[in-house]
Amino acid sequence: MTPSVTTQPSPNRRRSNWQLLMANRLAAAGLFIFGFILLVAILAPVLPMPDPNMTDQPNRLLPPLSQGHLLGTDHLGRDILSRLVWGTQISLIVGISATALAALFGSLIGLVAGYARGVTDSVLMRFVDMLMAFPYILLAIAIVAALGPGLLNALYAIALVNIPFFARNIRGVTVSIRNREFVDAARLSGKSHASILFTEVLPNVLPVIVITMSTTVGWMILETAGLSFLGLGAQPPTADLGSMLGQARAQLFTAPHASIIPGIMIFALVMSINLLGDGIRDVLDPRLRSGALDRPLSVTHIARQTTPAATLADAPVLVVDHLFTGFANGGAVTPAVRDVSFRLGKGECLGIIGESGSGKSVTALSLMGLVASPPGVITSGAVYIGGQDVLSLREHELIALRGARVAYVFQDPLTTLHPLFPVATQIAEAVMAHNQVSKRAAHQRALELMETVGIRDAADRASAYPHELSGGQRQRIGIAMALANDPDVIIADEPTTALDVTVQARILELLQDLRRERGLALLLITHDFGVVAQVCDRVAVMKNGEIVEQGETASILRAPQHDYTKRLIACVPELGEGHAFLDRVRPLFEETRL
């Protein structure tokens, strides 16, 4: 791997989870509101409020801000504020209890199913699937119908219908850790299954249980309130927030405040919990912090301090001049490509060779601004295509050059071709991106291209999807797509690495033929000196983001100057060499060992 050389002192002081959570303003607001509601609900018995169930007929349906009744009174003259606080307490208790019950039984099912696998797993998970096959709330209603309306029965019903969420999540995690080394070790040490499950597996599953609880508790409060609203939960005179709303509904037009106040309370409670839950999930999910889920822009971010000449006279088709590309990491940029320069003429082939992480692919992708950004950023240098610096072009001008003047062939065509479009459509699309032609003409051209790259019965294969073709055929499609607009330069990024050896040779041959016939400039990225020797006129050796040696292939093979080059060359074994290969290679590596 590339050692991470950082250009600026990194502000990467690790912050605690708590600090991260508080830095998220929405989550902090959620925590504050939820904390306040929780506090008031807990303090309900000691707060100076009237009895929530004390009726006062003469003073019914008083509006908010009335004397002695801050939020007014309901249809029986009861104090709404007092009922609200007590109702919140009940809603919280019921919602949290339902979550705890669902978490307990769901986690237990998930743990046992995931740990035992086999028949136990199948039976338990089929049962869970059946529960999930019901439209969510209808099963709860059926249960309440059977048990009879009531707060406790509503709680059981909501808990039961939420068991599947926990069972599925927990089972997934359990399956992934049941074969880990520490579980094996515990098993070998003679621990019982139950003891392994609770002392080894459970602690590792606990965070998932907590996350699932924090993301479902708001939902469960909402659902229990819903059942009470329908009159199936809390029964008078007990009132949770849902039944307050349900009872006040009859006076919606004459006293809307009696409905709106508990409604807003449910909303505020659930919203604060959801804000907090999202915040907790974001803090605990490392993918969100690393920016791995950021949307890549259409062109790599270009932030050059200097402005190189926009054009270059008498230049060959491709000139790369002191190129620097890095990856933004917090405030700093970790460089991946440093001061890379090379030239490539018509009909020429330049190989860029290096191990993985040496920066050769990032170099290749930088040329047309294809490095995913964020986090990619081109910090310096220029790329001249036909004497014109493409990095100073406008976005749509650069996009217009892609595929037209400079085309790419990527490594693994199974992941680099679109899985859901037939291959001929994908080639035709490349044609239409740069030519005003009809769909039919583009399709015809695609078939011709497929024949050019040696796909027999092209007309039959045209409607095939990438997964229906062999690896070699897929790579031929990739090459056909690159040829679609007669580009000047083809950049082939490890085009044969995913293929087996015989197919590899044929694909290289195809690239060679095309280069000769069409006068293409070929930039070949590889880690294999055998491939370089076979195809390239010149070669540049990359290590840690820099070109350490560059020259004619023959002379570099004959007299490599850099130690790293010597090692790369030595790594190409010869047929029948046997142990001599290891003897030859060993001393080259011994001196570098730390």
Partner 1 sequence: MTAYIGKRLLAAIPVILGLSIIVFLVMKLIPGDPAQALLGSYATPENVARINRALGLDRSWPEQYVIWVDNLLQGDFGRSYILNRPVLDEVIERFGATLILAGASLVICSIVGILAGIASAVRQFGWTDRIVTFFVLVGISMPAFFLGLVFILFFAVQWRLLPASGMYAVYGGGDLADLLRHLILPAGTLAIVATGVVARLTRAAMLEVLRQDFIRTARAKGLSENAVIYRHAFRAALVSVIPVLGIQAGFVLGGAVYIETVFQWPGLGQMLVKAVSTRDLLLVQGGVLVAATVYVLVNLLADVAQAMLDPRLKA
Residue ranges of the alpha helices (H) in 1-62?
Answer: 17-23, 25-42
Residue among 315, 338, 344, 314 nearest 326 (CA): 338
Residues 6+ apart with CB under 8 A from 532: 351, 353, 524, 526, 539, 553
Give yes or no for residue 336 binding partner 1 (CB under 8 A).
no
**Segment lying near partner 1 (by CB under 8 A), choices 172-180, 328-336, 380-388, 430-438:** 430-438
Residue among 364, 388, 380 nearest 315 (CA): 388
**Segment lying near partner 1 (by CB under 8 A), choices 32-40, 144-152, 539-547, 563-571:** 144-152
The two counts, helices (H) then strands (E), for the chain are 24, 11
354-373 residues in contact with partner 1 (CB under 8 A) are 365, 368, 370, 372
Distance CA 369, CA 304 (A): 13
189-218 residues in contact with partner 1 (CB under 8 A) are 218
Residue among 514, 531, 558 nearest 352 (CA): 531
Exposure letters 265-300 (e unless 16+ CB within 10 A, then b) = bbeebbebbbbbbbbbebbbeeeeeeeeeeeeeebb
Query: Residue for token digits 């929780």?
Result: 38
Give yes or no for residue 296 binding partner 1 (CB under 8 A).
yes
Among 143, 220, 462, 508, binds partner 1 (CB under 8 A): 143
CB of 431 to partner 1, least distance (A): 9
Q: How many CB atoms lie within 10 A of CB 340?
A: 24
Nearer to partner 1, 47 or 297 (CB): 297
Among 145, 554, 580, 582, binds partner 1 (CB under 8 A): 145
CB of 316 to partner 1, least distance (A): 22
Among 61, 401, 480, 539, binds partner 1 (CB under 8 A): 401
Give yes or no for residue 133 binding partner 1 (CB under 8 A).
yes
Give yes or no for residue 56 binding partner 1 (CB under 8 A).
no
CB of 148 to partner 1, least distance (A): 7
Distance CA 329, CA 540 (A): 28
Q: Is 234 left (phi over 0), alpha (psi -120 to 50) or beta?
A: beta
CB of 160 to partner 1, least distance (A): 10
DSSP for 543-570, please give it: ETTEEEEEEEHHHHHHS--SHHHHHHHH
Q: Sort 126 into a burial class: Cβ within 10 Å, 0-12 / 13-18 / 19+.
A: exposed
Among 64, 77, 149, 530, binds partner 1 (CB under 8 A): 149
504-543 residues in contact with partner 1 (CB under 8 A) are none
User: Alpha carbon 539 to chain centroid distance?
Assistant: 36
Nearer to partner 1, 125 or 350 (CB): 125
Nearer to partner 1, 196 or 430 (CB): 430
User: How far from 478 is each of 116, 276, 449, 474, 490, CA to CA, in Å?
Assistant: 45, 47, 11, 6, 11
Nearer to partner 1, 398 or 535 (CB): 398
Distance CA 288, CA 278 (A): 12
Give yes or no for residue 134 binding partner 1 (CB under 8 A).
yes
Give yes or no for residue 404 binding partner 1 (CB under 8 A).
yes
CB of 158 to partner 1, least distance (A): 12
Nearer to partner 1, 320 or 432 (CB): 432
CB of 436 to partner 1, least distance (A): 14
Residue ranges of the alpha helices (H) in 456-551?
Answer: 458-461, 471-483, 501-518, 529-535
Fill in the DSSP letter of residue 329.
E
CB of 178 to partner 1, least distance (A): 27
Residues 6+ apart with CB under 8 A from 393: 401
218-277 residues in contact with partner 1 (CB under 8 A) are 218-219, 222, 225-226, 229-232, 242, 245, 249, 252-253, 256, 259-260, 263-264, 266-267, 270-271, 274-275
**Segment lying near partner 1 (by CB under 8 A), choices 8-16, 310-318, 414-422, 576-584:** 414-422
Give yes or no for residue 126 binding partner 1 (CB under 8 A).
yes
458-477 residues in contact with partner 1 (CB under 8 A) are 465, 467-468
Give yes or no for residue 123 binding partner 1 (CB under 8 A).
no
Give yes or no for residue 327 binding partner 1 (CB under 8 A).
no
Among 36, 65, 122, 129, binds partner 1 (CB under 8 A): 129
- Binding-site size, partner 1 (CB under 8 A): 85
Structure tokens at 327: 């990856």
